[in-house]
Structure formats: C-alpha cells, structure tokens
C-alpha cells in the first residue's frame, strides 16, 4: 500500500500510460480537460469503463461536463450512470487507487486530497464490476445525452458569476427529497419550491423577486 498526496497528475498519467489491459474509473464529477488527458495517454486497445453521476443537477451545475460523456463514447469508452455515486476508484491493470478526489481540476490541483494505492486488490475490482454490470445502472448512449441536453436547454440558465462552479461540492444534497417535502407546511413548501427554482447555492434578495 502506498499513500499519495503530491504530484497527482504526473502519477495518474504514468498509470494510464503503463496500463496494458484495463482502465476502470469511478468518479461522479469529471471535467473535460481530465477526460482528454485520459484519452490522449491511454493505449488504443485498453478496455476502458467509466462510472459517473449522469444527473441533471450534476450536469447543470457543471460538475460533470456533458461533453465528457460524448467524448468518451466517441472514443469507445463504456460509460454508465449511477445516480447516487460518490465512490472514487481508479483501476489501472493491477494498480488500484481509492481516493477522495474527483476527476476535476480541483481534485488534481487545488483540493487537499488523499490517494491510497494498492496492488492486486481483487475485492475492489470485483466491487467495481458488480456496480458496472448491475442492471439498474444504464449505459449512457447518445439518445440519453441528447435528451438531457434538451431538458437543460429548456431550464432557466445558470449564471456562472453567481455560482462557484469550480468547487467539488460533495456535501450538497442533489437527490430526490420527496420525503422531506412531505413534511413541510404549505408556506415552507412554497418557500422551498421558489428557492429550488433559483438553483443557486448563494443567492440575493432580488433573485426572489422573480416569484412576486
């Protein structure tokens, strides 16, 4: 076992270049420049499987670049969606990394992250493949990309100046909160619905005037 805290990109590239059979990556957030780094450094014949969080909130908030999924598909990567994914696992042949870092600029260059590198850990690879082959986790195809793009294009546009889109905000709750809404009073529910439509983590009073 090896603890890695520095030179993450250099080590990541080296592991990609040395992989001869497989590259399996699990990351809810993926940015385009990291995706290109993966594609440009891997051997052409290597089997590549990706698990990510292909959800409207994740894509709309720019934590997962929609172009990434398109790019991976175009390069014959196999990409699957797990809507509650939080695990970050990187598998390069017999080298396996379990980490706090997403495949983002913050994950590689800005956040204080921790990588734990193992060799020949069959249990982790088995778990990854169980997630991947789970019938509840769908392969992301072009039709899904087009559909989610259509939905997002018809939603109110987010202002990048009003949202720090560079942060890997793992602690923000983005899933179904129907159980919470059921326990809200009429006024609190109305307030929640208005704030939810604003879709900003930090907003100003004038943002609420839209609902007057």
pLDDT tens digits for range 137-168: 999 998 888 888 888 888 777 666 554 444 44
Mean pLDDT rounded to a whole number for the chain: 82
- CA distances for 18 relative to 12, 43, 103, angstroms: 10, 8, 19
pTM: 0.75
Tell me the residue length of the chain: 212
The neighbouring-strand residues paired with 79 are 50
Average pLDDT on 105-130 reads: 91
| Pick from 205, 159, 144, 142: nearest CA to 60 | 159
Average pLDDT on 95-120 reads: 92
């Amino acid at each position: 076992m090896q603890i890695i805290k520095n030179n993450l990109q250099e080590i990541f590239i080296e592991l990609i270049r040395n992989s001869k059979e497989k590259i399996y990556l699990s990351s809810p957030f993926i940015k385009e420049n990291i995706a290109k780094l993966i594609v440009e450094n891997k051997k052409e014949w290597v089997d590549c499987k990706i698990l990510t969080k292909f959800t409207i909130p994740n894509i709309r908030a720019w934590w997962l670049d929609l172009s990434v999924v398109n790019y991976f598909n175009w390069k014959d990567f196999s990409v699957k969606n797990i809507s509650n994914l939080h695990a970050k696992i990187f598998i390069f042949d017999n080298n396996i990394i379990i980490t706090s870092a997403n495949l983002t600029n913050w994950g590689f260059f800005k956040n204080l992250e921790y990588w734990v590198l193992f060799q020949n850990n069959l249990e982790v690879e088995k778990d990854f493949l169980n997630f991947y082959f789970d019938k509840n986790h769908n392969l992301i195809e072009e039709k899904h990309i087009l559909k989610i793009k259509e939905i997002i294009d018809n939603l109110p546009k987010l202002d990048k100046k009003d949202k720090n889109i560079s942060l890997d905000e793992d602690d923000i709750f983005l899933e179904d909160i129907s159980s919470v809404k059921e326990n809200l009073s009429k006024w609190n529910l109305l307030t929640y619905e208005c704030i939810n439509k604003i879709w900003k983590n930090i907003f100003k009073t004038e943002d609420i005037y839209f609902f007057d």
